[in-house]
Amino acid sequence: MQLNGIIGYLLSPCDARGEIDHPLLAQHIEYLVQAGVHGLAPLGSVGCLPYLNDDERVAVLKTTVAASAGRVPVLAGVSSMSTAQTLRHARLAEAAGVNAIQVLPSTYWKLTEAETFAYYQQVSEAVSLPIMVYNNPFVTGLDMSVALLQRLTGLPNIRLIKEASPEPGKIARLCQACGPEVKVFAGVSSMALQGLRDGAAGWATAAPNVCAPAILDFYRRLRTGDLEGAAAQFERQTPLLDYLLAHGLPRTISAAMALLGRDPGHLRAPLAPLEAGRRQILHTLLKTLEMTP
């Protein structure tokens, strides 16, 4: 199955004891599939990947694959602090039946370009799955250059890039440098409209957990040539999208889902619920968009 369009990132909801709530996760998956997302991404940052142990990661992937039931592709986050752990999780994800993996460089020490290339080369050699290189300088401290990303796509199964730097025009340069065989996805909301206009294959985002109809309407308008309508829809959602990102996606996505009458489950410690004042601001944003029940 090919990745295109709106890729929805999943929470990893917990129960009151702090254990992963798999029935609730399956409900979240069904909601997003029924809403019309084009792919699902478990174990991203909104899925609290760093806070899950190895067994929990595998269990989340198995639930996602089972609940999605082949209706949309599954893109699994496998990043870890060490190369060895990333390789282990890449192999486990492949065994779980996902369609592709997303790999972020190690986030403790800032890697050099040579270290980054060697890291991805080892992952590429470890699995046969398509690999999405995730450039997120906010997390890693490393903003991978167009030249480095293009070089990485020379590895056998790296044909996907998620670009989350705020640099205007970078997605256009990536698309031009890498060619049509490589799919570039917008990875930060502020760049989604321009990135899709500039040739991105889609937008990888947690926003559909909160505003799936609007995000999918925006994408549909853009792909059918209604650029003015797409821009208007995007501009309308921008204050909400900016707020969701500014205060920590797991917190804000969970709070927004609850305000919309959907059960987000509990957050995995050390994360705590969104503070009351910020929750009220979020409620106002949702009310302005006429989304609250």
62 is catalytic: no
Task: Identify which of 176, 178, 142 has the alpha carbon closest to the alpha carbon of residue 161.
Answer: 178
Catalytic residue among 9, 162, 183, 219: 162
Residue 9 a catalytic site member? no
CB-based contacts of 39, cutoff 8 Å, min separation 6? 3, 4, 5, 6, 7, 8, 72, 73, 74, 75, 202
Question: Which residue among 134, 170, 183, 219 is the active-site one?
Answer: 134
What residue type is 144 in one-letter code? M
Please report which residue ranges of the chain form alpha helices under DSSP H: 22-35, 54-68, 83-96, 113-126, 137-140, 146-152, 170-178, 192-197, 208-223, 227-246, 249-259, 276-288
Nearest to 119 by CA among 137, 136, 131: 131
Cite the active site residues: 134, 162
